[in-house]
Structure 1
């Protein structure tokens, strides 16, 4: 049973510190990654061990796509099973991490490009818990979600992320969770459980995305609608892609970009992920 003691020490305003937390974009892929011990989940576990323990985690998930910008502000967010057709074991998972209403309020106050609405109905969707439960299995670190406003253009999301930078100085790990290339309509289902496989356009665009990220050349990534036919195939809808822009918008002048879980899956999906951390 969850109690307030799990997060009482985080309820006061977080203080700035010398340490700047990394920021991540994680390709979360199938919900089954939430319970499977595979190369992706193993890397998430290892990633957490390579970083300082955060005071809290804030996730921008592809699966909370809203009109307006919302932030989870409840004490105990529910575990949301927002998918269908999977084994019962996946639906049985509960990730009982606490929330942090004080941090939600503080985060909302940092954002001036949007009016942020406190939310008490959502919780942690699978874009969040399938990843974070591997990173912090004890569920003793507060976890919040910030929604993605579907009425706003890509540049808005990139700019909004910049306003969150000070949270990195307060021990908050910020994660964008989606997939850079995500076209479920073209998935090669016969190869879903096989070795790495990507269509030619998937592999070509994945390489281009990595090149632009590693060189901190974000203009083409923000204006992804200008990437031609390959871009339309890779990003038929924006919800899985936009979390990447939040991660990139949080880049500081001393951050070095790194790539991990760089793999194409089932033709039209990539798990390619990004870590930004000070040199």
Structure 2
């Protein structure tokens, strides 16, 4: 798809937008947030009105784990219902946005730490469309997903994120979608409806990571395994944590940091989300 010396990439020839697009890490939580009106989904809906209108969106979702790194390169993207046991209304949801082969090509071009391969079959999993259908319900902004190479460690993902930085100047909104505290095996189902209910280790780990982010001490977060016992419980597997590292790799010293949806669900899930950059 990409030929280094021959392809003139139109996206990168576009003029800079006169500033840098913000970067988002969004705790997406349950797929039901796609159809339920709750404080999390309402915040997503309000968020887009405060942001510059993107030319395109690049999402790194916790739900596309691969060996190697891939980018969606098709013009049309299927809505993937990658879950089970939920109401039919959730399976009926479609998010019929276009893909962007042009943006996919540019991702392949600017990432140098690894080879990014095109993927013509993957679409948008719920880590992407559950949030995007709230933020951009008209589905009128092209979207590309970048996969997470699950066989690589935190430093790899943090560096790869930093290599995407130039896209911020071209009007591309980059979103990492996961959850910082994400231990589904330890969810307290009896307290799912209890507002902001959390185990002590959930709070300890979430606050530790929050402090490191606010202090801009990102490097300490690259290896989550060294953050202590509480964080080992909060991040038993790194799939939902890695999207945060991509976003942190994109942050520069001038970016303001804002926290939103800073709440817990079921004891062992945090919805804590971050905006890096500025609102309109």
Fold match by TM threshold 0.5: yes
Which residue number in structure 1 is paired with residue 227 of structure 2? Answer: 227
Q: How well do the aligned residues superpose, as a CA RMSD in angstroms?
A: 1.2
1:51-130 → structure 2 map (5 Å cutoff)? 51-130=51-130
Note the C-alpha offset of 1:278: 4.6
How does the TM-score come out when normalised to structure 2?
A: 0.94
**Unmatched 5+ stretches in structure 2:** 1-8
Aligned length: 269
Cα distance in 1 for residues equivalent to 2:233 and 2:205: 10
Cα distance in 1 for residues equivalent to 2:10 and 2:196: 46
**Unmatched 5+ stretches in structure 1:** 1-10
Note the C-alpha offset of 1:209: 1.2
Q: What secondary structure does 2:256 align onto?
A: strand
In the alignment, is residue 167 of structure 1 matched against residue 167 of structure 2?
Answer: yes
Which residue number in structure 1 is paired with residue 155 of structure 2? Answer: 155
Which residue number in structure 2 is paired with residue 210 of structure 1? Answer: 210
Which range moves more in the overlay, 11-20 or 249-258?
A: 11-20
1:171-182 → structure 2 map (5 Å cutoff)? 171-182=171-182
Note the C-alpha offset of 1:37: 1.1
Note the C-alpha offset of 1:12: 3.6
The Cα offsets for residues 47-95 of structure 1, whole Å up to 9 and x where unpaired, read as 1100011001100000001000000000010000000000000000000
Tell whether the 8 Å contact from 2:11 to 2:170 is kept in structure 1 after alignment. Answer: no
Which residue number in structure 2 is paired with residue 28 of structure 1? Answer: 28
In the alignment, is residue 191 of structure 1 matched against residue 201 of structure 2?
Answer: no
The Cα offsets for residues 220-279 of structure 1, whole Å up to 9 and x where unpaired, read as 211210122111101100000000000110002210111100001101000000110059
Note the C-alpha offset of 1:20: 0.7
Q: What secondary structure does 2:201 align onto?
A: helix
How does the TM-score come out when normalised to structure 1?
A: 0.94
